[in-house]
Amino acid sequence: MLPSTSQIAPGLMEPAVHRVPNELWFDILRLLRRDRSTLLSVSQVCKRLRSLTIPVLLHQVTLDLVTSPDHASSFLAMLGSNYDSGRFVRRMQLKLSTRDVMSQSTLTDVWELLKVVSVEDLVLSSSKLSARLFDALITIPTLQSLNLQNCTIYPPDPIIPLETKDCDQPRSGRNLTSLEVTWQEASMTSSLPAILSRLDMSKLQHLSLAGSPCSGAVTTELLNTVSPGSLKSFRFPPARRDARFPDPYGLLRDNLVNQPHIRHLSLHPKIHLTSIPADALPNLERFEGSYAMAELLVPGRPVTQVTITTESNFSANQGDMPQTFKAIAKSSKPVKYLELEEIKFEEEWMDDLRILFPQLEHLRVQSINFLSKVYCNYGVS
C-alpha cells in the first residue's frame, strides 16, 4: 500500500528537479590526507556533477604550505588542470613562504593553483610576501576580499610602488571591495603605500589597516590612495609625528569628511582629532576609539554601538568617563551596545549607565580593578 500524503516527507512532494542539491561541500583537509588516486576520483566526480549543473562549493580551503608543501599538488589534483574546474572555491586561506623555505616545484604548484581557483575571499597568513606572489594574488579576476595577516616582505623581491615601476600599468584588483592588512614588522609598514598603489581602490568599501605606527610620510601616502566617498567601514593605525609631518592626522580628518557612507569607524586610541564638521559621517553606526574621539564623533550621529579602545597605560589617562557617557548618550539613535576595554571601572557608574542608556542591551567591561578581566552582559527591560 502506498503511504499517505501525510507520511511523505515534505521535500519528496516536490518535483525531482527541485530536490537536486544546489551545492555540495567537501571537507578539504580530510581529502588532502588521502592518496592521489582518491583525489583524482573526487575530481572526476566534481566534473560529472558540474556537467549536471550542480555547483561543487569548496567553501573554505586552508593550506599551510610551510609545514605541508605537498598539499598544493594534492589540491590541484582534486581540482583538475583547467581554469573552469576551480571556479567554485569561495574562500581560501594560505600560509606559505618563498624559495628559502619552499621548493621550486611547490612554488610552481602555487602559481598553477592561483590560476585554477576562482577565489572571492583570500587570506594570506604569516607568510613572506614577494612582489611576484602579490601580483599573482591581485590578478585573480574573481577576488573581492584580500586579507594579509601578519605577513613580512621578502627582501630579494620587494613590492615596488606602481608609480615608480610603470606609470602606465593598469592597477589590479578591480573587483576588490574589502582589504585588510595587519602587521607587526617595520618591513610591512614601509611597504603599505606600495601595496595600495598597485590596487584599484575605486570599488573598495571596507579598508582595515592595523599594526605598528606609521611614519608621517607613509600615513599621507595611505590616505591619498583612498577614493573619496567609497568606504563603508574604515580602520586606521596610529602615526608618528616628525618635522615634515607635525600633524599627520590633518589629512585623516579631511578624508573622513569626504566619506559620507562610513558606518563602521575604528581609530587607534592614539589617534586624536581636534575637530570635525557636524555634518561629517552622517551614517556612522558603530564607533571604536578613545574616549576623547567618542566624545567628538558620537554626539548627533546615529551610533548604536560604541567601543572605547585603550592603550596599555589607558587606566592612567582614561579621562572623565561620566562625561564620556553623557556625550555618547547624545547619539541621534539609542545606544544598544557599549564596550569598555582596560578600564578602572567604578561601581556607581552602573546607575549612570542605566539612566543614560535605557535601551542598552549589552555592556562589556574589561576591568583592571575588580578582576584581571571581567565581561558583563546585561539586558535592560
The one-character DSSP state at 298 is S
CA angle 127, 128, 131 (to 5 degrees): 125
Comparing 187 with 318, which gets the higher pLDDT? 187
Give pTM, 2 decimals. 0.80
Determine the average pLDDT of the residues in 190-217. Answer: 92
Can you count the helices (H) and strands (E) in the chain? 12, 14
In angstroms, the CA 209 to CA 320 distance is: 29
Determine the average pLDDT of the residues in 144-152. Answer: 92
Quick one: CA torsion of 93, 305, 266, 228, rounded to 10 degrees?
A: 100
In angstroms, the CA 286 to CA 288 distance is: 7
Q: What percent of the chain has pLDDT over 90?
A: 35
Side-chain-side CA neighbours of 165 within 13 Å: the count stands at: 13
In angstroms, the CA 98 to CA 104 distance is: 9
The β-bridge partners of 128 are: 152
Domains, the chain, ordered by start: 120-262 (3.80.10), 277-381 (no CATH)
Asked if the model's pLDDT at residue 88 lies above 70, the reply is no
Cell of 251: 589629512
Q: How confident is the model at residue 149 (pLDDT cuts 50, 70, 90)?
A: very high
Quick one: CA torsion of 350, 351, 354, 356, rounded to 10 degrees?
A: -110
Q: What is the torsional sign of CA 362, 368, 370, 371?
A: positive
Asked if the model's pLDDT at residue 297 lies above 60, the reply is yes
Rounded to a whole number of angstroms, the CA Rg of the chain reads: 25
Comparing 76 with 279, which gets the higher pLDDT? 279
Would you state the pLDDT for residue 167?
53
Task: Name the 3-class secondary structure at 24.
Answer: strand
Q: What share of the chain is helix, strand, coil (3-state, %, to 5)?
A: 35, 20, 45
In angstroms, the CA 212 to CA 285 distance is: 26
Determine the average pLDDT of the residues in 217-233. Answer: 90
Q: How confident is the model at residue 101 (pLDDT cuts 50, 70, 90)?
A: very low
| CB 376, CB 341: distance < 8 Å | no
Q: Is 57 exposed, middle or buried (0-12, 13-18, 19+ CB in 10 A)?
A: middle
Q: Which of 14-18, 30-34, 64-68, 281-285 has the lowest mean pLDDT?
A: 14-18
Cell of 96: 606559505
Q: Which of 98-107, 248-257, 269-278 has the lowest mean pLDDT?
A: 98-107
